[in-house]
Structure 1
Amino acid sequence: MGKLGTSLVLAAAVLTGCGGTPSIVDKDVLVVAVKADQPGLAERTGDGVFRGFDVDVAAYVAARLGKKVTFVETTSEGREAKLRGGAADMVVASYSISPERKRQVTFAGPYYVSHQDILVRSGETGIRNVRDLKGRKLCEAQGSISTSRIVDGRRIPARLVPARTYGECVELLRSGAVEAVSTGDLVLAGFAARERGAFTIVNAPFTAERYGIAVPLGDVAGCEQVNRAITAMYQDGTAARLLDKWFGASGLRLSAFVPEFEGCPS
């Protein structure tokens, strides 16, 4: 092999071997994107501190990886961009795993399997299950796939009313601008628990929402380490403790068993 051929081989090795895909395992501090307006899951307090189940899960995973952690805010529609643009190393933000999203990020987990349900104003008696959303005004948060599971997946012609976040959806529900909000039950439980008496969860689950921890696309090493951390979180009792801490008063049936992982793509 000539000098030119040798140089090309060495260059390829640098690009695909030693260099490879940047991994969270090589970082000392992990920047984690979380929501800021989902009580129980992730909410930013008046003094700027993030708190909630997703925040605690992210902190636990980072600690198991031997990393420090800082948090930044994301919305549903901004999650992929946070990773692609380098503004975050991980996303832990009620981020449901889907085939389309797996083409944009690498998912570890799921760290919890939620179930899609419906939130209504207290006293609402006409919505008992997903079929009752036909013709009803249903809030659609930007970047979420929950409403498409109803309108496209189940062919139920709800009247979609757009909002930027689920926090805005709940305000629309409160004002009567929409008649229902539908997404993962942990999201709904957080709002119902914060404002007891104002809203009611229908308790008619109809899909599974596998909440994953997203890392940059192709970071297999990071994905595998996060999966090991999630397993430990369930085995040492931390997951059960955190679920009870944030949602125990909501009345939801919570699972403390290790979810079946997606597997990290090689």
Structure 2
Amino acid sequence: MKLQKASAAAAGALVLALTVTACGGDSNDDSSSGSGGGKITIGIKTDQPGIGLQLPDGSYAGFDVDVATYVAKELGYDAKNIVWKKAPSAERENLIANGDVKFVAASYTINDERKKKVDFAGPYLLAHQDLLVRADDTSITKVEDLNSKKLCSVTGSTSAQNVKDKLAPKADLLERGGYSECLTGLENKAVDALTTDDSILAGFAAQKDLQGKFKLVGLKLSDEPYGIGLKKGDTELKTKINDALKKMVSDGSWEKAVQANFGPAGYKNEPAPQIAD
């Protein structure tokens, strides 16, 4: 920003305006206040039904949204004071490190590589890689059945490559730009199965216009413990979020959120995982 020619007064006014209107920075994300009067910016997925989805009216829904809303309330923020920020998988660490969000709840699997860059609260859900097939398909009951069948996933998916490389090398892997394209192909019998985390598959299959059309095979091809990502070294916030997650489980809100977002797909979820201290 070029301010060399601006007067000192104008520059001061600009700085004041930016301070007042900014949202998502640490100055407004004061989780220690507990007053509910400030704003908190939270990173979520916005294109995953059942997990995190921006609805046509601009609101957001999904299991991660429910979890994040509950946690924010325990930190002292009303739902109306949450600023939701899109957190694509490749940007989650940057959003946290730059202070653009207070925390991220976005189907964020905890692993050693990510723990080098961010801290995690949780886990709050244990997902597994699975397959989604048509409801009337009885030919796919195990991963080896994918040999000589068409398997769909998004471009660059490690889940699909895992199946192709290690589990069903003769599968015909088709990569598409988004899961919705795979679902259309699955419905039209252009492909035989779709693979990714079972929670994501259940979220898509639970959509009203798709209920009853698909089913999860029920395989556990990997463990995907979802955690809430936050800035490295923020032990105070991590403890507060873990306490909130434990309360969500103990008061029944966690199970209610699971059933509301995944239940229509017949998702057989794991019990709430043990939350780290």
Structure 2 length-normalised TM: 0.74
* SS of 1:239 mapped into structure 2: helix
Aligned-partner Cα distance in 1 for 2:153–2:201 = 14
Counterpart among 209, 213, 217 of residue 224 in structure 2: 209
Counterpart among 198, 218, 224 of residue 239 in structure 2: 224
Aligned-partner Cα distance in 1 for 2:75–2:150 = 44
CA contact (8 A) 2:130 2:196 kept: yes
Aligned pair in 2 of structure 1 residues 107, 155: CA closer, same or farther (>3 Å)?
A: same
Deviations 1:52-106 (A, max 9, x none): 1111110000111113422122333332333234332221111111222222321
Instruction: Report the equivalent of 1:80.
Output: 93
* SS of 1:207 mapped into structure 2: coil
Aligned residues: 240
- Identity in percent: 38
User: What are the residue-to-residue correspondences of 1:1-266 with 2, within 5 Å?
Assistant: 25=31, 28-67=38-77, 68-134=81-147, 136-141=149-154, 145-151=158-164, 154-157=166-169, 158-176=171-189, 178-194=191-207, 195-257=210-272, 259-262=273-276
* SS of 1:124 mapped into structure 2: coil
Per-residue deviation at 1:41? 1.8
Aligned pair in 2 of structure 1 residues 146, 166: CA closer, same or farther (>3 Å)?
A: same
* SS of 1:106 mapped into structure 2: strand
For 1:217, the aligned partner's letter is: K
Deviations 1:33-53 (A, max 9, x none): 212222222211111110111
Aligned pair in 2 of structure 1 residues 30, 95: CA closer, same or farther (>3 Å)?
A: same
CA contact (8 A) 1:108 1:262 kept: yes
Aligned pair in 2 of structure 1 residues 137, 105: CA closer, same or farther (>3 Å)?
A: farther
Per-residue deviation at 1:168? 4.2
Aligned-partner Cα distance in 2 for 1:51–1:193 = 13
Aligned-partner Cα distance in 2 for 1:262–1:134 = 39
Give the root-mean-square deviation of aligned CA atoms: 2.7
Aligned-partner Cα distance in 2 for 1:24–1:142 = 38
Aligned-partner Cα distance in 2 for 1:132–1:232 = 42
Instruction: Report the equivalent of 2:23.
Output: none
Deviations 1:5-58 (A, max 9, x none): xxxxxxxxxxxxxxxxx7964584321121222222221111111011111110
Structure 1 length-normalised TM: 0.77
Higher relative contact order (CA 8 A, sep 6+): 1
Deviations 1:220-256 (A, max 9, x none): 2222211111001011111111112222332222345
Instruction: Report the equivalent of 1:14.
Output: none
Aligned pair in 2 of structure 1 residues 232, 162: CA closer, same or farther (>3 Å)?
A: same
Deviations 1:187-233 (A, max 9, x none): 11121121023322112333322111111233222222111110010
Runs of at least 5 residues in structure 2 that lack an aligned partner in the other structure: 1-25
* SS of 2:206 mapped into structure 1: helix
